[in-house]
Structure 1
Amino acid sequence: MTQPLNLQTQIDAFRGDRTYLGADHARNERRTWIVAAICVATLVAQLAGGIIFHSMALVAGGLHMGAHVAALAVAGIAYAVARANARDPRFAFGAGKVGYVAGFANAIVLGVTALLIAIESVQRVLQPETVDYHGAIGLAAAGLAVNLVCVWLLRPVHDHAHDKDGDLNLSAAHLHLSADAVVSALTIAGLAAGDWLGWTWADPIAALAGAALVGHFAWRLIVRAGAVLLDMNPSQDLTETVRGRLQDPETQVLDLHLWRLGPGHHAAVIVLAAAHPQAPAAYHARLNGILGLSHVTIEVRDLRTA
């Protein structure tokens, strides 16, 4: 069916409902709160142990765990808010981006925590304190075991959960705990070096190395979440796939915008010009089967008058 000349026609396509939440939203929300509760208990133990045993590395681990507790609480609240507002018409493209707002906020907090740990670690290098290595090592080992359990609980169900299209809330939480596991290992190494080799500087240096690692992961989260919140093109490959499906000798893609709506969901706004325009539904049918393309708007123009 040929469209009248100069007629702008749009078609919005929806696959499933318009919530744009992640496929494992409920499961991820539930496990986030479970891990948050575990982290609260670990936080109390690490801070108490750091004070009792005079270990900066344990205090750093406790502060880092505190950041995890805050991050997990924010992530859990974000899941609840997104779920509660999934069909709220005030959200033009659903509430799928709530998790990215939470992820960005958590990344900022994580970066500040890394800075505070680094400052305190430098002070301990300049003014070392006596450390009860035996007690501190045991508590650090327990902290590492807790971290590994939490990392396992937050493991993604699907292979895509850690890639750029996955659930940033889950990915951020998993990244936090994975980084903390490495920090715990560094803590144990620093305490062991101080106990066995007499390197009193090893404990705060291990904390400083952990701070650098935490800062690195914080920056990665800022970049990922910021890109989504600013509607940057999430995938050049997906863009070219859409363009390739639509463009042919008689059809030109004049404009194409692609952005992320939520975990695993993308939207596209496309302007086409065709020598013999068809109904927009015909062009939309060409995009069927493209994974992650959840909302499409197509405008068709007559190439002879475009």
Structure 2
Amino acid sequence: MADHHNHNHSEKHHHPAPKNYGPIFAITIVLNLLFVAVEFAYGFLTNSTALIADAGHNTSDVLGLLLSWGAIILTRKQPSKRFTYGLRSTSILAALANAMLLLVASGAIAWEAIERFSQPPAIAGLTISIVAAVGIVVNGLSALLLMKGSKGDLNIRSAYLHMAADTAVSLAVVLAGVAMLYTGWYWLDPAISLVIVVVIVIGTWGLLRESLKLAMNAVPENIDVTAVNDYLYQLKGVTDIHDLHIWGLSTTESALTVHLVMPNGHPGDAFIDECVRILEEQHSVHHCTLQIELGSTDHACSLTATKPVLPHHH
């Protein structure tokens, strides 16, 4: 019968991240690159493998920030003949890559820590504490800058988690450095490293799970499928619905397609426009395609057999 594609409503006000977070990513990347340079320099000067290892870990975080920033830039690219939705889904890939990067970095820290338990090296506690204190400032400031955007965007949240994890690492290193300075308990260094790894893994697991789901076209966490299903069923003139699909276009946007069975025929554009508005404002669905059918033949596709995704009883 009739397809209605509405892609113009969400463009106006559902992309705050690309506009606001470019300069923030630039600042955090420059700050972290400077800190990595300082850490490497002091690591070589003091012969501290701990500082060199941490500088290596922070380098992976800069890579994570670059991934997130790059994805934000790509999400702004206009759709093309080949990529009809643009490159919005790069933000999902960046969040997934960042989660994996954090887990790999955690594994490297854990491996280093376990090796150090057998023969903890003598460490320049004061130097380590001073450099790590600078790390608290740099990483803490970076995390604060990214905190606001992390609530509504999985991609920015992945970058925020990198910085928050690093702040925790730096704080633990300061405490370990001071403790080793006064006690000579050099085993504290690997012990605290392992505690930090556990904290990072717990925080990253949720990010990995969510980004994997989005990459596999799962319904985004913030959308209630039952509520959407119920809303569509109660629309005037709708006797049945089928092929309801909702998925994430990016870490901030979603899309929906559905077949509405309306025996009295197409209700007109005003009806469709109102549906699209309600779905966006009340259900966080930004790009909708509503297909109207009379119900005179069996239109149900093989993906959902012959029943709606969520059967509804009148």
Could you state the TM-score of these two structures normalised by the residue count of structure 2? Answer: 0.83
Q: Is the 8 A contact 2:4 2:272 kept in 1?
A: no
Q: Is the 8 A contact 1:246 1:283 kept in 2?
A: no
Q: Is the 8 A contact 1:19 1:87 kept in 2?
A: no
Residue-pair matches, total: 292
CA deviation vs aligned residue, 1:102-150 (integer Å, no higher than 9, x gap): 2222222222111111111111111111111111111111111111111
Deviation at residue 96 of structure 1 after TM alignment: 1.3
Q: Is the 8 A contact 1:22 1:167 kept in 2?
A: no
Specify the alignment match of 1:285 in structure 2: 274
Which ranges of structure 2 fall in alignment gaps of 5 or more residues? 299-314
Specify the alignment match of 2:287 in structure 1: 295
**1:54-73 residue pairs with structure 2 within 5 A?**
54-55=47-48, 57-73=50-66
Q: Supply the distance in 2 between the matched residues of 1:246 and 1:299 (Cα, whole angstroms).
A: 12
Secondary structure at the counterpart of residue 255 of structure 1? strand
Query: CA separation of 1:301/1:96 partners in 2, compared to 1, >3 Å: closer, same or farther?
Result: same
Specify the alignment match of 2:112 in structure 1: 120
- Answering whether residue 211 of structure 2 is matched by residue 225 of structure 1, we say yes
Percent same amino acid at aligned positions?
A: 23
Deviation at residue 82 of structure 1 after TM alignment: 3.0
Which amino acid counterpart does residue 206 of structure 1 have in structure 2? I
**1:23-34 residue pairs with structure 2 within 5 A?**
23-34=16-27
Q: Supply the distance in 2 between the matched residues of 1:210 and 1:59 (Cα, whole angstroms).
A: 17
Specify the alignment match of 1:181 in structure 2: 167
Deviation at residue 60 of structure 1 after TM alignment: 4.1
Indicate the larger mover: 134-143 or 147-156.
147-156
Q: Is the 8 A contact 2:239 2:261 kept in 1?
A: yes
Which ranges of structure 1 fall in alignment gaps of 5 or more residues? 1-7
Match of 1:207 among 180, 185, 193: 193
Match of 1:271 among 229, 240, 259: 259
CA deviation vs aligned residue, 1:143-194 (integer Å, no higher than 9, x gap): 11111111222232xxxx334xx33332211111011111111112222222
Query: CA separation of 1:17/1:233 partners in 2, compared to 1, >3 Å: closer, same or farther?
Result: closer
Greater RCO (CA < 8 Å, at least 6 residues apart): 1
Q: Is the 8 A contact 2:6 2:276 kept in 1?
A: no
Q: Supply the distance in 1 between the matched residues of 2:252 and 2:276 (Cα, whole angstroms).
A: 16
